[in-house]
Chain A
Amino acid sequence: MLIELVTRRYPGMRFWLFQRVTAVYMAAYTPVLLLYFCIVKPVGYDAWIAFNSPWWWRVLTFLFFFSLCLHAWIGVRDVFRDYVPNQIIRDYLQAFVEVVLLACLTWSIYIFWSL
């Protein structure tokens, strides 16, 4: 159903919905992270690796960073649309932000999946 709502059939709703869904995921992930941290209490590098080694935790963490990037992309896109009226400059700025976000996401994947 969510996929149906985020198609081009709803051009206004889908980005708003993306932002809300990603916000909810991040809001849910953060207390889980704190709770997991309190339970495992990783001290030192080895403990930190062990903390992040379960595959399911890596998937949840990847989803968190993915949500963060998607959320930021939509937010910055809205800001540019409001405050940068020149379309050429806006497109360049948007492309720059997309490259940075993609690099951050790739980097986070590299860090967490190369442990």
Chain B
Amino acid sequence: MKLSTMKLSIYRFNPDVDKKPYMQDYEIELQEGDHMLLDALLRVKHEDATLSLRKSCREGVCGSDALNINGKNGLACITSIADLEQPVVVRPLPGMPVIRDLVVDMTQFYEQYNSIKPYLQNDEPMGETERLQSPEDRAKLDGLYECVLCAACSTSCPSFWWNPDKFVGPAGLLQAYRFIVDSRDHAEEERLENLEDPYRLYRCHNIMNCVDVCPKKLNPNDAISKIKDLKIERAKEKKPKKLFSIKSL
């Protein structure tokens, strides 16, 4: 059953054929059950099979279909069509190299994520049971572990646009804090030291684009501020190094 028509303007670029990107207009008939933008994009794809986009779970869990929708990053699968002004302008995530149409190369994003060592580091020998956490320690991970790595936040951050090779970005820093505060992780000092470079952490200027666009309603800016506070606390705890000693004379 046809419900209504929908107008879209979609970024197109095929490096094998096109010299430069262009916007292509589409008008599609929505069907019963088409509620989210991804449904509409798949209708377009059904009419024009040359359109490329990523998608997987269709329910905001995998983070594959992060796009720039009417100028704001978000997940197409959980963006309601009813909330969008038409024609809906759909572009790939900004600041990332475009592979084709709406598909971007996320290598730098994953390299930054990898650089914060996103896994528990614990040198203590394994016991007979799991490493348990108190409810309070577990609660510290709320608002952090839910990140689906869609890159909507990092690609809305100007600091990440200009320095994707140096600045970890909000998604990576949110995950860095997730492991720093994990009571089972014993590499807090190394993790904080790893972020001391002038670019990796301190390029964040708290403009909060990341908070504005996060489809999971997380707050990377808060995590970044807490990392900065922790770095000061830990630096204050350290005994100052001796500036001079007999041996150095």
Q: Which residues of A contact B (CB under 8 A)?
A: 1, 4-5, 9-13, 15-17, 78, 82-83
Q: Which of A1, A16, A78 has the most CB of B within 10 A?
A: A16
A5 touches B236 (CB 8 A): yes
Provide the residues of chain B in CB contact with A4, threshold 8 Å.
235, 240
A16 touches B235 (CB 8 A): no
When chains A and B are docked, how far (Å) is the Cα of A54 from the Cα of B93?
58
Size bin of chain B's contact surface? 20 to 34
B237 CB to nearest chain A CB (Å): 11
Query: Of the candidates B158, B162, B195, B205, which one forms a contact with A12 in the assembled complex, judged by CB atoms under 8 Å apart?
Result: B195
When chains A and B are docked, how far (Å) is the Cα of A11 from the Cα of B231?
12
Q: Which residue of A lies closest to B235 (CB)?
A: A5
Provide the residues of chain B in CB contact with A78, threshold 8 Å.
203, 205
* Given contact pairs A16-B228, A78-B205, A1 touches B236 in the complex (Cβ within 8 A): yes
When chains A and B are docked, how far (Å) is the Cα of A17 from the Cα of B202?
10
B196 touches A10 (CB 8 A): yes
Other than the given A13-B232, A82-B203, 19 more pairs (CB < 8 A) read: A1-B236, A5-B232, A5-B235, A9-B241, A10-B196, A10-B231, A10-B235, A11-B197, A12-B195, A12-B196, A12-B197, A12-B198, A12-B199, A12-B200, A12-B202, A13-B228, A16-B202, A17-B232, A78-B203
B224 CB to nearest chain A CB (Å): 11
* Given contact pairs A13-B231, A16-B202, A82 touches B159 in the complex (Cβ within 8 A): yes
When chains A and B are docked, how far (Å) is the Cα of A1 from the Cα of B153?
35
Provide the residues of chain A in CB contact with B241, threshold 8 Å.
9
The reply to whether the CB of B108 lies closer than 8 angstroms to some CB of chain A is no
Query: Of the candidates B163, B197, B198, B240, which one forms a contact with A82 in the assembled complex, judged by CB atoms under 8 Å apart?
Result: B163
When chains A and B are docked, how far (Å) is the Cα of A90 from the Cα of B203?
17
Among B16-39, those with CB < 8 Å from A are none
B162 touches A15 (CB 8 A): no
Provide the residues of chain B in CB contact with A15, threshold 8 Å.
198, 202
B235 touches A13 (CB 8 A): yes
The reply to whether the CB of B214 lies closer than 8 angstroms to some CB of chain A is no
